[in-house]
Amino acid sequence: MRNRKRIEEIYQYAKEEYMALGVDTDEALKRLNTIEISLHCWQADDVAGFESPDAELQGGGIQVTGNYPGRARTIGQLREDIEKVMSLLPGKQRLNLHASYGDFGGEKVDRHEIEVKHFQSWIDWAKKFGIGIDFNPTCFSHPSADDGFTLSSKNEVRRKFWIEHVKRTRKIAAEMGKQLGSPCINNIWIPDGSKDLPVDRYSHRVLLKNSLDEIFSEDYPKEYLIDSLEGKLFGLGSEAMTVGSHEFYFGYAVKNDKIVCIDTGHYHPTEQPGDKISAMLQFLDGLMLHISRGVRWDSDHVTIFNDDVQLLAQEIVRADALDRVHIGLDYFDASINRIGAYVVGARAVQAAFLFALLEPAHKLREFEEAGKNFERLAFLELLKTKPFGAVYDYYCLTRDVPVSEDYVKEIERYEREVLGGRLSLRSAV
Ligand code: RNT
Ligand code: ZN
Say whether 230 is catalytic: yes
Determine contact, residues 316/356, Cβ cutoff 8 Å. Answer: yes
Torsions phi, psi for 353 (to 5 deg)? -70, -40
259: helix, strand or coil: strand
Catalytic position from the list 192, 230, 308, 415: 230
Q: Where does residue 51 fall: left (phi above 0), alpha (psi -120 to 50 degrees), or beta otherwise?
A: alpha
Active site residue 127: no
200 a catalytic residue: no
pLDDT at residue 285 in the model: 98
Whole-number Å distance, alpha carbon 289 to ligand 2 midpoint, is 8
The response to whether residue 46 sits with its C-beta less than 6 Å from ligand 1 reads: no
> How far is it, in rounded angstroms, from Cα 335 to Cα 293?
15
Q: Which atom of ligand 1 is nearest to the CA of 298?
A: 7
User: How far from the centroid of its chain's Cα atoms is residue 68's Cα?
Assistant: 22
Number of neighbouring beta carbons within 10 Å of residue 285: 12
Please report the pLDDT score of residue 429 as a whole number: 42
Q: Is the Cβ atom of 288 under 6 angstroms away from ligand 1?
A: no
Question: Ligand 1 within 6 A of 225 CB?
Answer: no
**Residue 309: CB within 6 Å of ligand 1?**
no
Pocket test for ligand 1, best of 138, 150, 189, 300 (most atoms within 8 A of CB): 189
The finding on whether 263 has its CB within 6 A of some atom of ligand 1 is yes
- pLDDT tens per residue, the chain (429 residues)? 679 999 999 999 999 999 999 999 999 999 999 999 999 999 999 999 999 999 999 989 999 999 999 999 999 999 999 999 999 999 999 999 999 999 999 999 999 999 999 999 999 999 999 999 999 999 999 999 999 999 999 999 999 999 999 999 999 999 999 999 999 999 999 999 999 999 999 999 999 999 999 999 999 999 999 999 999 999 999 999 999 999 999 999 999 999 999 999 999 999 999 999 999 999 999 999 999 999 999 999 999 999 999 999 999 999 999 999 999 999 999 999 999 999 999 999 999 999 999 999 999 999 999 999 999 999 999 999 999 999 999 999 999 999 999 999 999 999 999 999 986 554 444
What pLDDT, on a 0 to 100 scale, did the predictor assign at position 59? Answer: 87
Pair type for strands 193-194 and 241-242: antiparallel
Residue with CA nearest ligand 1 atom 7: 62
The predicted pLDDT at position 2 comes to: 77
Cα 420 from chain centroid? 27
190 vs 91, 139, 153, 273, 304, CA distance in Å? 31, 6, 11, 20, 26
So what's the pLDDT on residue 427? 45
Centre of ligand 2 to C-alpha 231, Å, is: 9
Going along the chain from its start, the domains and CATH numbers come out as 35-357 (3.20.20.150)
Q: Is 189 a catalytic residue?
A: yes
What is the separation, in whole angstroms, between the first and last Cα of the chain? 40
The Cα–Cα gap between 398 and 419 comes to 29
Inter-residue contact 62 to 300 (CB < 8 Å)? yes
Q: Using alpha carbons, select from 126, 97, 100, 98 the residue that is nearest to residue 113.
A: 100
230 CA to centre of ligand 2 in angstroms: 7
Cβ of residue 42 lying under 6 Å from some atom of ligand 1:
yes
Distance 51 CA to ligand 2 centre (A): 21
Residue nearest to atom 1 of ligand 1 (CA): 62
